[in-house]
Every structure is written in C-alpha cells, then in structure tokens.
C-alpha cells in the first residue's frame, strides 16, 4: 500500500475510534430498502446524527461480525480494505434480507464531567451517576469502552420472511415484516441483551420523511422487552437503544470503568 494511503487510513481509523459515543449514532444505511433479486445489495455504514453521517469503509479490524441473513442462508459480507460503500453484495437469495454488524471495541476518554452527565441523562440511566460516585470514580480522566450491534432489514424481491434473534450481544428483533405485514397498528420490536429481554428501558426512534425531514421520538419497552413503534408508509426508520454496564478497570481494556452497548435497527415502510 503506498505511503499516502497508509497515512490516510491511519487518520481514518483514529477518527473512527475517537468519535464520542455520547454524540453519535451508528447505523446501516441501504441505498435502497427494496431491491430486485438480480440487483446488488448496496449499503453504507454510517456514524453521525439525525440520519446524517460519514460513510465508513470496509475495514476488517473494525468488526467482529458482518453477515447477510436471508431465510436459512447466512453469508459473510466480504470486501476489500477501504471499500466504500462497505456493503456490496452481488449475489443473494430472495426474501427478507437482514444485514448484521458488530464492532470491535472503541473508546471515549472523559475529561469533561458535564459531557458524561449529558450522555447518561439523555440515554436515561438515572442510576449511573450515583453508581459512579459510589464506586469512588473520578469525574475526569476516566474511560468508557463501547461497541455497536446493528441490523438492517431489506426486501429482496417480494421480501418475504421474518427477523429473529441472531445472538448479537444486544439487538432489536423485528416482530413483523415491514415489507409484507400490516403496520397500521404500529411496528413491534423486542430488545434483547445477551438473549434476554430488556424490560422497561428507553428506545429512540428516528423517522425520516419523504421530504428528508427527521423527527425523533422516545419510547419504552414493556415487561417483555417489547415496544410498538408508530410508523408511516414511505418513511425510513432507525430504532436505537443503549445499555450501560459497569466494568472492572483492572481487567477492562484501557482500564475502562464503563461499557456501553449500542443496538440499532434500520428499516423502511413502503409507500402504499
């Protein structure tokens, strides 16, 4: 690899791992949520805010899992170092396509207490600040490790099929197919952590309308980890939830004292 490309790649990796978890979402952004069976499935990995963000390249060191599931078929998403869009799948079965992606560890260092407070309050972790003090942790100079666990639903051909749990550390499971089912009563999802339902926690829903305007609403799972999300035909959606876990800095990578796990699911509701 020529030296200039190595330098640019190094800068890219530095920027990617330095992005603060408190300020940015991470999602899979298909170029088209409905494709013909003979069309390639193309999607970007994005990090940003309000459905606007930087498209990331295909870099193996950044993920632990990257796959396309369609029915009983599960195939790795492959590529060359630096490919962008990161998802370029020429051959695939027909059905409900589910792209799965889990990242390796990233880190954010907190030198401003207010930034950590803003993050945990926004993501609705009322006990975190109290636990931080009870653990005797400093208000500056501490580290959080975080990972992303994302899925995207794409209709391939007729798009028939059903999402299910794939064993991601945390994940949303769509309990309806947005491309074939009646969503007039809402779109039901279930949020899991280590395979178990996450009950009574906050989830956020990003709604991008056909005019590209974006609205964000806050919802909560019930006792079974389920939530029914309001959706409209012709709109694109991302649902997101964060888990905050305590870590032992003596054994955690980079002596991190907190770990956040980010789940996200993108999908579209076809115009009728």
**C-alpha separations of 219 from 209, 216, 271 in Å:** 19, 10, 24
CB 190 within 8 A of CB 224: yes
Q: Which two tokens stand for residue 84?
A: 């962008």
CB 171 within 8 A of CB 192: yes
Q: Which two tokens stand for residue 92?
A: 């695939």
Q: What is the pTM of this model?
A: 0.92
The span from the CA of 160 to the CA of 94, in Å, is: 8
Q: How many domains does the chain have?
A: 1
Residue carrying the six token digits 């799972």? 221
Q: Residue 50: left if φ>0, alpha if ψ -120 to 50, beta else—which one?
A: left
The span from the CA of 65 to the CA of 104, in Å, is: 9
pLDDT tens, residue order, the chain (272 aa): 444 444 344 444 444 444 444 448 999 999 999 999 999 999 999 999 999 999 999 999 999 999 999 999 999 999 999 999 999 999 999 999 999 999 999 999 999 999 999 999 999 998 999 999 999 999 999 999 999 999 999 999 999 999 999 999 999 999 999 999 999 999 999 999 999 999 999 999 999 999 999 999 999 999 999 999 999 999 999 999 999 999 999 999 999 999 999 999 999 999 97
The span from the CA of 206 to the CA of 227, in Å, is: 15
The span from the CA of 61 to the CA of 52, in Å, is: 24
Picking from 105, 129, 102, 103, the residue whose alpha carbon sits closest to that of residue 116 is 129
The span from the CA of 242 to the CA of 12, in Å, is: 25
Q: Which two tokens stand for residue 151?
A: 């899925």
Give the domain extent around 135. Answer: 3-268
CB 260 within 8 A of CB 26: no
- Express each pLDDT in 201-216 by its tens digit: 999 999 999 999 999 9
- Express each pLDDT in 160-208 by its tens digit: 999 999 999 999 999 999 999 999 999 999 999 999 999 999 999 999 9
Side-chain-facing half-sphere of 39: CA atoms under 13 Å: 15
Look at residue 97 and give its three-state secondary structure: strand
H or E element: which one contains 14?
Answer: helix 3-18
Cβ neighbours around 209 below 10 Å, total: 12
């Amino acid at each position: 690899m020529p030296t200039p490309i190595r330098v640019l790649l190094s800068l890219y990796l530095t920027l990617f791992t330095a992005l603060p978890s408190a300020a940015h979402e991470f999602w899979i952004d298909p170029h088209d949520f409905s494709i013909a069976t003979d069309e390639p499935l193309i999607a970007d990995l994005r990090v940003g805010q309000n459905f606007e963000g930087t498209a990331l390249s295909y870099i193996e060191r950044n993920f632990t899992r990257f796959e396309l599931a369609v029915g009983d078929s599960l195939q790795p998403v492959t590529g060359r170092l630096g490919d962008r869009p990161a998802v370029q799948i020429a051959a695939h079965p027909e059905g409900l396509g589910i792209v799965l992606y889990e990242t390796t560890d990233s880190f954010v260092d907190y030198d401003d207490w207010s930034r950590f407070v803003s993050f945990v309050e926004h993501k609705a972790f009322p006990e975190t600040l109290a636990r931080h003090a009870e653990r005797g942790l400093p208000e500056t100079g501490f580290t959080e490790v975080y990972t992303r666990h994302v899925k995207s639903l794409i209709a391939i051909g007729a798009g028939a099929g059903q999402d299910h749990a794939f064993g991601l550390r945390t994940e949303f499971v769509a309990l309806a197919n947005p491309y074939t089912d009646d969503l007039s009563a809402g779109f039901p999802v279930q949020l899991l952590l280590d395979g178990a339902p996450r009950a009574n926690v906050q989830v956020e829903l990003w709604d991008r309308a056909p005019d590209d305007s974006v609205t964000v609403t806050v919802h909560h799972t019930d006792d079974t980890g389920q939530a029914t999300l309001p959706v409209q035909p012709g709109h694109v959606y991302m649902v997101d939830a964060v888990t905050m876990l305590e870590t032992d800095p003596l054994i955690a990578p980079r002596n991190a004292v907190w770990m956040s796990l980010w789940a996200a699911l993108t999908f579209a509701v076809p115009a009728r």
